[in-house]
Structure 1
């Protein structure tokens, strides 16, 4: 039994819904990214790519509150990301957790992470790695040619 808290759909088919545990489900998720709506567009600096991505600390964790899913999660910690990409972390209001023993715990200034904002630095990191691989391949090819030339003497 699933208790949907919010659902959008048409023709008796759900295209977006949020369940009682706060999980959201959607057919797709698009974010506005139109050049005409942006200003001060500059390429992401090299420092915002591979070097920054290498500082990230992926973790596994479980939520404290039994109201959230009990399954082990994979993710990042907002406070860690804030040191590297502060623009991807926002601070919200107060969250009250229902603890397993029935008590409640209030956490103020709860931090949230814009996970999709990590895509551009990951793309930049992949581009950097790709350039390095291409340069290394050219060097390997040149070294092979030099070896063959030496063998032919």
Structure 2
């Protein structure tokens, strides 16, 4: 455990690995309660829209659980199971050697990039709004057609 207490502290991590092979990135924490990551368009390439987010998110179940190493914890945790996320969003699942693993055991433990789920939620809301807007427009047309039929009688 690392415990730092200071006033006006800014943490900046350079050459960070953010899961997989995303090296040479920077993250910053300036005391506002958020870790800030680089997101400038000028630093990005090969940009594509992420699609089909809503239907994939709807396949995930939010779970309550206790950690096996703390079965008597007074409250349960909430989250996802990495193995459930992996087939739907493989880039959100990473691997690490768990601290309790045997030194001789090379087995990796799965991790999740939970911060990305907020971005996916925005994408899913956009998809849902587009679906509902299309449904509303279709219903408006049907209502107008029914009104026109009633006026003809």
2:98 maps to: 94
Structure 2 CA distance, aligned partners of 1:148 and 1:51? 35
**Of 63, 68, 72, the match for 1:64:** 68
CA–CA distance in 1 between the matches of 2:124 and 2:149? Answer: 37
Instruction: Compute the displacement of 1:94 (Å).
Output: 2.8
| Matches for 1:111-150 after TM superposition, within 5 Å | 111-150=110-149
**Is the alpha carbon distance of 1:75 and 1:26 closer, same or farther for their aligned partners in structure 2, counting shifts above 3 Å?**
farther
Q: CA RMSD in A?
A: 3.1
The Cα of 1:76 is off from its aligned counterpart by 0.3
User: What number of residue pairs does the alignment pair up?
Assistant: 130
Question: Could you list the runs of 5+ residues in structure 1 that have no partner in the other structure?
Answer: 17-24, 98-105
Residue 5 of structure 1, CA deviation: 4.0
Per the alignment, in what secondary structure is the counterpart of residue 47 of structure 2?
coil
TM-score, structure 2 as length reference: 0.70
Structure with bigger strand share is 1
TM-score (norm 1): 0.70
Q: Distance in 2 between matches of 1:36 and 1:88?
A: 24
Q: Indicate how the Cα distance of structure 1 residues 119 and 34 shifts in structure 2: closer, same or farther if over 3 A, else same.
A: same
CA separation of 1:87 and 1:68: change in aligned 2, threshold 3 A? farther
Give the aligned partner of residue 80 of structure 1: 84
- In 2 relative to 1, CA 95–69 (structure 1 residues): closer, same or farther, beyond 3 Å? farther
